[in-house]
Structures are given as structure tokens and as C-alpha cells.
Amino acid sequence: MLNAIFSTLTFKTNRYLSGVFLLIGTGFLFIGIFFAIFMAISFFKKSQNQLLKSDLKLSYNKNVNNPLILQAKISSIYSLTGTSYSGLVSTYIVWILHITDITSIDLIISFTLTFLLEIMTAVLILPRIDLFRETRPGEIRIIKLHDFRGGITAGVLTLSRHSPFKSIIFVGDEDDSITRTIEAHELGHATEHHPIFLEPSIIFLLSIIEPLIWFVGFGNIMNREVISIFLVIKTVLIILSVVIAILLFVRVAESRADAFAYKVIGKSAYENLVEALRRAYGENIKSPEDAPLVSKIFHTSSRNAIKTGDPLSSIGIWEFPVVLSFIASTIAIIPFNSIGIIYPLLFVGTLVISFLIGLVSLPIVRKYYRMTERGSLNFSFLLAGIYMISSIIALDAYPNLYLVISLLLIGIILAFIITRAFLDLRNSTKVVVASLLIYLSINILISLIKILPHGG
Ligand SMILES: [Zn+2]
């Protein structure tokens, strides 16, 4: 989307650059289609839980260090390839193209190239390392470890006709209800492919951080080029937005895995979870709130989802508005020439708007969401935030009306895909149509209030 905007914007001033953007945009479009197919497959699979059982494979392994070794290998591949790719790209821009004044376009080209190279490497290398090598595409492999107290799910994208996913679950080898609850939670992660959604997100984050570090390093240490502090601040804001978006995704994914465990295990799931936390962190744990901070940051502190079965019941009511408003104001600030006071104003403005729109749509969302009150409110805030971000992106494309309309359509499709992860097809359609109508009528109302006094 952004590349299409940049392509149109640069078409008059620089034909060559416009072509480059169009090419990069097409690349992203294909990756987008790729992921749309993945999502379709994962939804299809979810509705056929019985089929999934045939893909499960159990194996026993005594080595407790296995998951740690696997994670360490994946992280070192990420950092090693990421650093070298971004280093190569920035060296090319500075030493071969002899660009001395780094602009936002140089940054975007570096981010994009680093991202494409890293995602290609991840898809080609990760499915071939360590335990993933022995895992078939489409298989969820469960490895039982002796004296292992927690549960870990690892997953990677792979190029295969059979399935684009490979997943491994690590759990303890004891045969009791506590281990079964942990296993059910991890199965929730694996069947919904949470680690696989995380893979491109983390690569995306790294592809923004690494080129920025290279450029700042080149400029300051080697005096090879200049990068304005303003551009650095904007990029840091984008990095922060991606970080908090990933964190919120992880918290929702953990809550979805908890809700999945509740559906499999039933009412005893919550007590089993508290016992599992006690085994991992000590006898003084009475409720999930007593767990260490790291656990609470990623898993939420209440873990209500495993008690209620509602995946959005453990998320705090301020989380969606704050995170989505931060992203919205970061996107809105990109075309501006200063940040100063505008950024906090934009943030507060979008926060208030998303809160209000979420509250107004609540009665309709509640009617279809039919879970806990907290869950309905969060779901309403989530939808409000997505509409707000879509309209801010679409606004950047103005006055190209075709682009504005296509961007809005993409926003609606995105809202529908996210809704579909929580509701069935009929209710998703109803919720998206109803909340969209509310959002549009509020916008029309605001425009009328703004226009009428001038017209009269
Ligand atoms: Zn989990």
C-alpha cells in the first residue's frame, strides 16, 4: 500500500524511483497473497479439528535443553543474516551509489531489501535446522521431555506443496492433568499457527532496526553520510509501534491458547494452570497474578481466558486503544515536517476517538460477540482501532481517489479477517457491516458539523 502511494507521489518527479517502488510493492503484494492463502488454510484447518489429529506425532526425548538449543539457533540465524544483509544494503547505498544524505526513500529501500532477503533465508534455512529437519510439513510434533515444567511451541514457515507450516511442541513427560492442560494450551498455539505469524513480524522489526543502526553508525563513526535526527526519531517511533503491536499480538495469542485449553480441559483448566505456575515458580503462587513479571507481560496477569473461554477477557481495556492509537499517530506523523507537540496531540486525539467509537459500537458488538463484557468491549476497541488506522493510511493517498478507496477496502478486508478469527462467518459479516456503518456515520456527522457552519 505504502509503496503504491510512494510510486504515485514520485511518478512526476522521478520516473525511475517510481518504478522501483512499484516493483517493491508488487513483491509485497505477492507476499501478502501468500499469507492470505496461509490464513485461509489455517481457518480451514481449525474447522476440521479431527483431521488435525492425524497430523500429530508424538516422540520422546530426554534432553531438556532441546527447546533452548532450538531457540538459540533460530535467534543466532536471525541476528547473523539480518546484520549482514542490512550491512550489505547500506554499504551498497553509501559506497557504491555514493549517497551522502540519507533520505526516507533510502531507508525504505534498505528496509524492504533486508526484509525480502531475510524472509527468503528464514523460509529456506529454518525448516532445515535441528529438530525441524525431522518434522514433516503440516505436522505438529509433540516432544516429551523428562523433568520439563513448562511448555513451548516453535513453528516455522516452509516451502512445501503439502503445507507451509512445521510445528514442534515441547512438554513434560508426566501423565497428569497439569501436563495435559499445558499441552492443550500449546496445541492452541500450534493449531492457530501463532509462532508462524510471529516469524515474519520479528523479521519485519529486525529489518527496520538493523539498517537504521548501520546508517547511524556510518554517519557518526565513519563520517560517510548524514542522516537527520528527525528521520531517526520518526524511524524509532515506527520501531516502537511495531514492538508494542507484536507484544499485544503475543498477549492475544497467549489468551487464545488459554481459551483453547479451557475448551479442551474444561472448568478444571484454571486450577491446573495455577498448579503449573506453582511448579514452575514456587509454592507461594496462589493465583496467576503472583507469577513473575516476564510471565505476566507475555501471558497477561489475570489469565481470565482459561477461566471464561473468552480469549479477549484477559486483555486490559486500555490495551487496544493505547497500542492502536500509538500506531495510528505514528502513521499520521510520517508526512509531517515536525514532531514536537503534534505527536502527543495526535496520540491523545486518536486515543479519545478510538475510545468513543469503541463505546458507541459496543451494544452491536456485544450482541454478536456473546462472551464476557470485558471481551466485547475489547473487541469493539479492536475494530474501532483498525478502522481508524485504515482511514489514516487512506487519507495519506488523497487526492488519488482510486487509491483512497482501495486502501479503505483493504482496511475493511483486514477487519473482516481479524473478526473471523473470533467469530463464525455469519456473525463476522454482521459485526463488520454494522460497526463499519457506525464508524462511517460518525465520520459523516463530524464532517457535516465542520462543513455546515461554513456553508451557511
Ligand atoms: Zn503460551
Measured in Å, residue 54 CA sits from the centre of ligand 1 at 23
The domain locations on the chain are 1-47, 316-456
Q: What are phi and psi of 391, to 5 degrees?
A: -70, -30
Measured in Å, residue 1 CA sits from the centre of ligand 1 at 32
Return the minimum-mean-pLDDT range out of 41-50, 192-201, 293-302, 412-421.
Answer: 41-50
Q: Is the pLDDT of residue 38 over 70?
A: no
Strand partners, 172: 145
| Residue-level pLDDT at 47 | 44
Return the C-alpha cell found at 108.
525504505
Return the C-alpha cell found at 446.
463530524
Could you report how far apart the first and last alpha carbons of the chain are, in Å?
38
Q: Is the pLDDT of residue 43 over 70?
A: no
The pTM (predicted TM-score) of the whole model is: 0.85
Distances (CA, A) of 247 to 41, 201, 268, 351: 25, 11, 28, 19
Percent of the chain's residues with pLDDT above 70: 85
Measured in Å, residue 259 CA sits from the centre of ligand 1 at 11
Measured in Å, residue 280 CA sits from the centre of ligand 1 at 14
Measured in Å, residue 14 CA sits from the centre of ligand 1 at 48
| Residue-level pLDDT at 455 | 55
Return the minimum-mean-pLDDT range out of 167-176, 220-229, 387-396.
Answer: 220-229
Identify the DSSP state of 61: E
Average pLDDT, stretch 363-377? 94
CA 204 to CA 208: how far, in whole Å? 7
Measured in Å, residue 153 CA sits from the centre of ligand 1 at 8
Distances (CA, A) of 346 to 130, 287, 326, 384: 47, 39, 9, 16
**Contact status, residue 199 vs residue 155, Cβ threshold 8 Å:** yes
CA 239 to CA 236: how far, in whole Å? 5
Q: Is the pLDDT of residue 44 over 80?
A: no
Measured in Å, residue 211 CA sits from the centre of ligand 1 at 31
Measured in Å, residue 89 CA sits from the centre of ligand 1 at 36
| Residue-level pLDDT at 50 | 41
| Residue-level pLDDT at 51 | 42
Measured in Å, residue 183 CA sits from the centre of ligand 1 at 10
Measured in Å, residue 358 CA sits from the centre of ligand 1 at 28
Measured in Å, residue 195 CA sits from the centre of ligand 1 at 10
Dump pLDDT digits (tens) for 220-274: 777 778 888 889 999 999 999 999 999 999 999 999 999 999 999 999 999 999 9
Q: Is the pLDDT of residue 90 over 80?
A: yes
What residues contact residue 437 under an 8 Å CB cut-off, 6+ apart? Answer: none
The neighbour count for residue 120, using CB atoms within 10 Å, is 13
What residues contact residue 381 under an 8 Å CB cut-off, 6+ apart? Answer: 317, 320, 321, 324, 354, 355, 358
